[in-house]
Structure 1
Amino acid sequence: MDHIYSSADIATALPELQWLEAPLANAQEDVLFPLAWEELACRQVGKGAAPILHVWRHPAALVIGHRDRRLLNAPQAMERARNSGMSVCVRPSGGAAVMLDRGVLNLSLILPNPQRAISLHEDFRLMAGLVADALAPWSDEAQTGEIVGSFCPGDYDVSVGGRKFCGIAQRRQAKAYIITAFVMIEGHGAERAQAVQQFYREAAGDTPAGSQQPDYPQVNPATMGSLAELAGVPSVEAYTASLRRVVESQAAILPADSLLVQPEELAKQMAALRERYDLQV
């Protein structure tokens, strides 16, 4: 495990940015909505719009990765989740299945890349630094490194005491890109992990004798925790306010551009993402 790099370098990486904090979605809202918005906003950043930090939540959603969608019974498992009242989608960024609810905060840094020279590790460290610095009022024990047995595992899992509370992924476009993170703040990490574990059990199905076991994360609920459990963070609102203070201490916050994405474009983008990632294997 590695100690977190401070986000103090954000002033160099992001001298100014737009802070866009979306209101909590209602349960009927398609979780693909914020992801489609980010796809379109990323194009605008690639054309010269200011970088964006998008902060959002959904009360009941399952967001899975490309490889998850290829599992034998993934469509049936996704439909079962929908029938239980969750919004379900396949996300365009990397990573694997994540369970979202009102206690999980989603962060997306949308950054320009005019030279098409992305430094993956530095960018992941920047996001991890933001997440950890926002946690500083309650704990300085955040570390990075893959937590084996967690859902959506990766080299830049962020954890406290060996239990993961945050995962980071990336989505690239031609002239801009998005670094995304989920941060479990309220509730119980193990319960979310059990729900992801159940999805994989259903999606993988029975492996015929002699065939190769499907490739998907083997989730151990004991590896996941929320910041309420791990560090005593009282609420999503308290953590978000701390994150805002961290960003304001390092970068100039610009007013959010309400005209950045047009509604008619958003509807088309949602349909395109659904067709490309959800309906096709």
Structure 2
Amino acid sequence: MILVFGKTGQVARELARSEGVTCLDRAAADLADLAACAAAIRSHRPAAVINAAAFTAVDAAEEREAEATVINGTSPGAMARDCAALGIPFVQISTDYVFDGSGDTPWQPGDATGPLGAYGRSKLAGEQAVAGAGGTWAVLRTSWVVSAHGNNFVKTMLRLGAERDALTVVADQIGGPTPARDIAAACLKMVKTLATEPDKRGIYHFAGAPDVSWAAFARAIMAEGGRDCTITDILSRDYPTPAARPANSRLDCSGFEAAFDMTRPDWRDGLAAILKDLGEA
């Protein structure tokens, strides 16, 4: 059995579709309660653990950084230590926000980090804690997660596209939209591989292809979803947010592809599947 921390998030809900997976919600294991997380791991006696739970409110993290750091940083480190003690693989989901978003070259896993805000700092703290725990661990950095569940860009665009005939969307942030279903598949492949090939521990990147701007992604959503809504490009400075977003979220996924024999998912296929799930196709 694979134990998953998280139950209502986008990736956790996709992981729950798989056989042999047990997902824990906050009532079963509050990430702010390290003892509860440790007890959950030891009581379930899993073959592996995936942490798909996180403090994901990027703007709110600016005011609640201490809370975000416990949930995204301290707790994953504690989980990883417990897994190391039990001799089982642990996979932590991380983010492109650990980088400063400079340049236009896809980020390599070993590139220098430089988070722009509290959320990125909290997730980087988690990466460092997991790596420092020893044992068989892996960190999967991903970007622009979308699905038929929860709050995400696809669902927001579909809603706004039905309400308005025109929208302005940021066009100077570039990245890879990544379907949660594909992230779930990647995590499962990682823990199963790590169980027999622990030397593949480390940090990996996994994101949808091709890289695209938010504005171009919005146009694709409107077209695929049958929304008659015009998208006009704007710059990030024209849409200020409490937390700065990285302009360059391109991730080099070649290391993941080689280690786990999985290719980057085409987000256009993922978008079609999401719309089908939502009854929009």
Q: Fold match, TM over 0.5?
A: no
Q: Which has the higher strand share?
A: 1
TM-score between the two structures when normalised by the length of structure 1:
0.27
Q: TM-score, normalised by structure 2?
A: 0.27
Greater percentage in helix? 2
